Structure 1
Amino acid sequence: MNYQPNVEETIKLIKELVTIPSPSGNTEKVISHVEEFLRANDVKIARNRKGGLIATIEGANHQEHRMLTAHVDTLGAMVKEIKPNGRLKLTTIGGFRWNSVEGEYCEIETASGKTYTGTILMRQTSVHVYKNAGDAPRNDENIEVRIDERVSNEKDVRELGIEVGDFVSFDPRVQVTESGYIKSRHLDDKASVAILLKLIKHIKTQRVKLPYTTHFLISNNEEIGYGGNSNITPETVEYLAVDMGALGDGQSSDEYTVSICVKDSSGPYHYGLRKHLVSLAEKNEIEYKLDIYPFYGSDASAAIRSGHDIIHGLIGPGIESSHAFERTHTSSIENTEKLIYHYLLSDMLKY
């Protein structure tokens, strides 16, 4: 059955998701947003104790299950220290470098739920004051938040309700260009979440009958390593992580195709599932690239490490400048969505 995605609808979902702050450890708002979407489409849903969301669509075969996962948690930061001058020192959440957020607008959320805006800056930002403004290390000691409030000392900041442990999220600055590019922070992995939500809606509204009962895990701790390592049913045979394809020197992935990962830092992904995905792509004229990511781990590799006896795979749209100034193209979103659709309707591997 041919499937032609409505990419505009998927992009709309991506824009909604990236604008909801959700650094790992503080994902309730975005999980609730996804929950409302699924409930509106009459999908069976459940929460796990970690705060993730599991959507289930029953298939013709209920003895063997599939699970697909994508994560809504993002990179972010947390207040490490309130400085005597009223600035905030930070600690990172997830794997990124400070230079990738230098100059970025941010939002500080207090424990009471109140939010304040600010800017992430070097302590030595002004070239009129600091001779070493360009050479100073971008590190925990020099990076700080300038709060958009009239504060000049630690007491002023604490009177706002800001404390050590408050979450800091980054402005996504999402844009969609006329040439089809979508630029935003947190495309990792909210682009993939949007793709799964769009497919779930299509399956429900068009009454598509899946061959196997299929679970969709919207995980919320992937950036810190353990989002998708639990709540995998004993009947689950195949487990597919839908995450980004990382671009750079030596990589074959690009912003226009679906990336099929053959190996990451955890080792090779299941060879049979990889060949099955390639066969589906070629049969349905879906543009794809095979790639290896040496400094990468996914929820599928986390599941394998936690001892689950599953067939695991990893695919996703190609994301330029991952964990920094991310960008992809609508054609990559389209190719990824088409491959997942055909995978969901395909026969399971014989193991």
Structure 2
Amino acid sequence: MTKIFDEKWTLDLLKRLVETPSPSGYTTKVMDLIGRELALLTIPFIKTNKGAIIATIKGTNNARHRLLTAHTDTLGAMVKEVKSDGRLKLTNIGGFNWDAVEGEYCHIHTASGKDVRGTILMHQTTVHVYKDASSAKRSAENIEVRIDEKVLTSDDTRELGIEVGDFVSFDPRFEALENGFVKSRHLDDKASTALLLELIRSLKEKGTELPHTTHFYISNNEEIGYGGNSNIPEETVEYIAVDMGAIGDGQTSDEYTVSVCAKDSSGPYHYELTQHLVGLCKKEKIPFKLDIYPYYGSDASAAIRAGFDVKHALFGPGIESSHALERTHVESLKATAELLYTYVTSDMIK
């Protein structure tokens, strides 16, 4: 296969993506980054009222379209309460366990535009004071933000511009190791977003002609359930969500192959389209795993629920420890990139 995966370009972009805070509902900066990248590639795009971006590359067949989507919104939190001692209670954005962010550094994004640093901790952290420091439940009731400013009262905190409703983002701690491992928060789904932009860059650079007009939908509300469920061009026949493969007991997905999902919590994906993807992997010798994710949903399943008459499928890189301190490997990124390129340059199923 022709080389279509620029590892350095992809990892450089991925680092910039994960280091741009974008919890669902607070995605303007990361979508602006996406817009700048597409502008550099001279790819036309539109921005939806919800803030998503849809870029389009015309193909020889303009009657039956394809759509590929990835999402840039991430897990995060909002300020639920400014406590009397100046610390903050949180409400979560997206599905994660509080113990997955305990001890993490964070930014509080104020309405004025000022960012304030803090640390997410249990209220009962100090073992010399709290007998239940280890046993207390990790929950919204006990988790709080210790602000890195001199605050002793709620008034002190509010003088910093912090208020209920401010967004809180978690530090990603991105690392790309020499042995190929990539670890960071928010690889779900910024790894796939980087791969879609890498695909666009590769198609543009090589002047590749696509057999079908193809839309690249970068959504920004997937973690809360309604990212890619609107603004789908009516000519769209095939809808592919490019999102993480979940790794764990009973799963086949790993960090070294592309994961193709047959079924998730929404039900089975389109059988013929899924088998078409499997066939492409076998034909091109792309390392892959077929899997089922019991506690998972995607923008493709959201589009189906919204009533769109499309054939839907899902594949993406394998991500270890999803919705926590995530990790993948460049081998999985490369396999996903190869399947993306093979898919968009092949004919549609009938």
> Cα deviation per residue 1:74-116 (whole Å; 9 max; x = unaligned)?
0000000000001000000000010000000000001111100
> Cα deviation per residue 1:137-183 (whole Å; 9 max; x = unaligned)?
00011000000000011000001100000000000000111211000
1:187 pairs with 2:176: no
> Cα deviation per residue 1:49-96 (whole Å; 9 max; x = unaligned)?
100000001111111100000000000000000000010000000000
Match of 1:81 in 2: 81
| Deviation beyond 2 Å, 4+ runs, structure 1 | 1-4
1:41-60 residue pairs with structure 2 within 5 A?
A: 41-60=41-60
Match of 1:14 in 2: 14
Match of 1:201 in 2: 201
How far is the alpha carbon of 1:4 from its aligned partner? 4.1
Answer whether contact 1:81 1:88 (CA < 8 A) is retained: yes
Q: Secondary structure at the match of 1:178?
A: coil
Which amino acid counterpart does residue 98 of structure 1 have in structure 2? Answer: W
Answer whether contact 2:4 2:199 (CA < 8 A) is retained: no
Q: Secondary structure at the match of 1:5?
A: coil
Q: Secondary structure at the match of 2:111?
A: coil
Which amino acid counterpart does residue 119 of structure 2 have in structure 1? Answer: T
How far is the alpha carbon of 1:11 from its aligned partner? 1.1
Q: Distance between the aligned counterparts of 2:79 and 2:216, measured in 1?
A: 33
> Cα deviation per residue 1:17-75 (whole Å; 9 max; x = unaligned)?
00000000000000000100001100011000100000001111111100000000000
Q: Secondary structure at the match of 2:107?
A: strand
Q: Secondary structure at the match of 2:197?
A: helix
> Cα deviation per residue 1:276-303 (whole Å; 9 max; x = unaligned)?
1011111111000000000000000000
Question: Which consecutive unaligned segments of at least 5 residues does structure 2 have?
Answer: none
Q: Distance between the aligned counterparts of 2:52 and 2:32, measured in 1?
A: 10
Q: Distance between the aligned counterparts of 1:51 and 1:347, measured in 2?
A: 31
Give the % identical residues: 64
> Cα deviation per residue 1:200-254 (whole Å; 9 max; x = unaligned)?
0111121111111100000000000000001111100000000000000100000
Answer whether contact 1:3 1:341 (CA < 8 A) is retained: no
Question: Which consecutive unaligned segments of at least 5 residues does structure 1 have?
Answer: none
Match of 2:291 in 1: 291
Match of 2:160 in 1: 160
Q: Distance between the aligned counterparts of 1:295 and 1:20, measured in 2?
A: 27
Q: Distance between the aligned counterparts of 2:111 and 2:4, measured in 1?
A: 44
Normalising by structure 1, report the TM-score: 0.99
Q: Secondary structure at the match of 2:207?
A: coil
Which amino acid counterpart does residue 229 of structure 1 have in structure 2? Answer: N
Q: Distance between the aligned counterparts of 1:45 and 1:178, measured in 2?
A: 35
Which amino acid counterpart does residue 208 of structure 2 have in structure 1? Answer: V
Q: Distance between the aligned counterparts of 1:223 and 1:76, measured in 2?
A: 10
Which amino acid counterpart does residue 232 of structure 1 have in structure 2? Answer: I
Q: Distance between the aligned counterparts of 2:141 and 2:273, measured in 1?
A: 46
CA RMSD of aligned residues (A): 0.7
How far is the alpha carbon of 1:2 from its aligned partner? 2.9
Q: Name the count of aligned residue pairs.
A: 350
How far is the alpha carbon of 1:3 from its aligned partner? 3.5
Match of 1:172 in 2: 172
Match of 2:103 in 1: 103
Q: Distance between the aligned counterparts of 1:4 and 1:53, measured in 2?
A: 23
Q: Distance between the aligned counterparts of 2:117 and 2:61, measured in 1?
A: 50
1:280 pairs with 2:280: yes
